[in-house]
Structure 1
Amino acid sequence: MNQPLVYRSDNYFRAGELFSIIRFHEPSKEHRKYHSHDFVEICYVASGNGYHILDGEVHRVTRGNLFIINYDVSHAFYREDNASLIIYNILFKPGFVDESLIDFNDFNSLSLSYLFNGLLEKPFHPNLALSFDEIQEFESLIEKIYAEYNERRSGYISIVRAYVIELIIHMMRCFDRYPDNREMSRRLDVIYAAMDYLRENYTSSFSLGSLASKSFFSKNYFCRLFKETAGMTVTEYVQKLRIEEACKMMENPNKYITEISMETGFADYKSFYTAFTKRVGMTPSEYRKRMEETT
């Protein structure tokens, strides 16, 4: 791996500020940029799938993964082939959160601030895998930060600072909730592996019991963990994959809709019609007609 680049705060922070937030579409593996920086970075995976190189290890990432990248730590994100990966990068120096820390660069220095009152005295993990409910909570907060920072209305820096403090406290609560986050990550890795399997085999029939048995979890626990992670049931996830592929196949005007329904794994046209209409909001014929009108 090439020598890491060093990203300097002067290139990212506005004049007189110690903060920035960037919504970034990560590149392919060939174009990834292994780098460190002279500020703290909180990285949140907003959508897509990809990989994160951190401390020499490659981690698979998806929506709901959150990383604390400390000062002078080298890392890089890159997307999966033929996929997208969107990351919110929250960049700041400790002095942004508390002016008494103006001379510090390290995330751990925040433990010196009265704002966190002992919250940061315990060891923390550099990454979190959020549950479905936590994803909703974090995304709402991050989107508020992003909007305030970019709209630049009066007093926006004070509001952004308050939101960042709230974000850090929520992160610490997550560490408390999962005292051994490595075990939670292991469980989520099992779900991500199941999602990968389903993406590769969505046209085939499957048994929830056999899928759960591969993970060494009970069927009920596997289903609950899958829904918490993906935000939908296994059946809903498979239908989503099938409908997305069906929409792509409809770009070919020479393919019959009945043919598409069978090739995407539906047992019959009726079940395809019902699932498609429910998910897309129009019938397959209406969808194809709309596509033809826009091309």
Structure 2
Amino acid sequence: MIATPRFAIEQALRKVPFSMSADHVHQAHEIYYLLAGERYYYINQRVYALQKGDLIWISKHDFHRTSNKGSGSHERILINFDEEFAASSMNVSPSSDQNQLLLPEKSFLLRPSAEEQCELEHLFRQMLDEYHQEHAYRQLYLQSLLLQLLIRIRRIQSATADTIAPERSEKQQRVYSVIAYLHAHYDESLSLDQLAEHFYISSTYLCRIFKQTTGFTLVEYLQDVRVQQARAYLRETSWKVTSIAEKTGFDSIAHFGRVFKHLTGHTPLQYRKKYKKE
């Protein structure tokens, strides 16, 4: 069976503080545009501070999540699409050089000018209107709008001297060091006191700055790193679940099962079975 090219767009307004409970990854590309408010956007161990009019390109396979910043009220537009959908708009194969040039491999943050924001928002409104209607040639029109959007993003990016860097205050640099340590030592028995001692700071201060920077508690983040690795082992090896639990730092198979299901919605065996079917 040939899969239908995938495209989705949605606009959401949240009037209360909201943070995603865990980071996640897609098999498709994602465009996030902040219409109003402020957000923290976490991508691959770095935190970006978004303001109104900012656009984030999230490349497929990059782990990401958003968390609260400022008053908590915000409005955003989110687009997900696969390479086949983008390629169809140009009548080329998904792996062609022409298609790849329009689809950046690395995630980045753009801060468009006021004029550029107006142009982008006009395209978003057209996409939203078309997406929620059942007009003739709907998919073709959405593909043409996506092509215009991708070209516009690339033009803005090429005209920008430097992409917007992640947050890099002294506090955040310290948190990035902790994050790197967790990714390197997730398979070990780690405690808050051990981490605080290793980085020569108090456990209370470490907890506070980690939560402020990432939106995670230390325990939540470590569990998330371990589950990410466990998912890879379940997909790529035939190891027993008990072995995977041990190799990812969990103290018991029961604890591993509870955390894995909480973060993925599946038991480890269900996840492995689902992945093999796909």
CA deviation vs aligned residue, 1:232-263 (integer Å, no higher than 9, x gap): xxxxxxxxxxxxxxxxxxxxxxxxxxxxxxxx
Which residue identity lines up with residue 38 of structure 1 in the other structure?
Q
The structural deviation recorded for 1:136 is 0.5
Partner of 2:119: 137
Partner of 1:21: 9
**Counterpart selection for 2:72 from 65, 73, 83:** 83
* Structure 2: distance between partners of 1:126 and 1:156: 29
Q: TM-score, normalised by structure 1?
A: 0.48
* Structure 1: distance between partners of 2:20 and 2:34: 19
Which residue identity lines up with residue 132 of structure 2 in the other structure?
N
**Counterpart selection for 1:170 from 152, 157, 164:** 152
The structural deviation recorded for 1:87 is 1.9
Higher-RCO chain (CA-CA 8 Å, sequence separation at least 6): 2
* Structure 2: distance between partners of 1:122 and 1:39: 12
**Is residue 125–residue 175 contact of structure 1 (8 Å, CA) maintained in 2?**
no
* Structure 2: distance between partners of 1:123 and 1:38: 13
Partner of 1:238: none
Q: TM-score, normalised by structure 2?
A: 0.51
Q: After TM superposition, which residue ranges in structure 1, 4 or more long, deviate above 4 angstroms? A: 119-125
**Is residue 41–residue 64 contact of structure 2 (8 Å, CA) maintained in 1?**
yes
Partner of 1:274: none
Partner of 1:36: 25
Aligned length: 163
Partner of 2:162: 180
CA deviation vs aligned residue, 1:193-233 (integer Å, no higher than 9, x gap): xxxxxxxxxxxxxxxxxxxxxxxxxxxxxxxxxxxxxxxxx
* Structure 1: distance between partners of 2:20 and 2:106: 31
**Counterpart selection for 2:36 from 47, 62, 81:** 47
* Structure 1: distance between partners of 2:84 and 2:20: 33
Unaligned runs of at least 5 residues, structure 2: 168-278
**Is residue 108–residue 163 contact of structure 2 (8 Å, CA) maintained in 1?**
no
* Structure 2: distance between partners of 1:129 and 1:123: 19
1:81–1:63 Cα change, 3 Å:
closer
Which residue identity lines up with residue 4 of structure 2 in the other structure?
G
Matched, 1:147 2:129: yes
SS at the partner of 1:71?
Answer: coil
Partner of 1:56: 45
Q: Output aligned runs, 1:181-200, within 5 Å.
A: 181-182=163-164
CA deviation vs aligned residue, 1:9-28 (integer Å, no higher than 9, x gap): xxxxxx83411112234674
CA deviation vs aligned residue, 1:122-143 (integer Å, no higher than 9, x gap): 9876221111111111001111
* Structure 2: distance between partners of 1:87 and 1:130: 15
SS at the partner of 1:86?
Answer: strand
* Structure 2: distance between partners of 1:122 and 1:77: 21
Question: Kindly, what percent of the aligned residue pairs are identical?
Answer: 21
* Structure 2: distance between partners of 1:43 and 1:121: 15
SS at the partner of 1:37?
Answer: coil
Higher gyration radius (CA): 1
**Is residue 78–residue 85 contact of structure 1 (8 Å, CA) maintained in 2?**
no
**Counterpart selection for 1:70 from 59, 63, 79:** 59
* Structure 2: distance between partners of 1:123 and 1:72: 10
The structural deviation recorded for 1:32 is 3.9
The structural deviation recorded for 1:68 is 1.1
1:164–1:182 Cα change, 3 Å:
same
Which residue identity lines up with residue 72 of structure 1 in the other structure?
H
The structural deviation recorded for 1:182 is 4.0
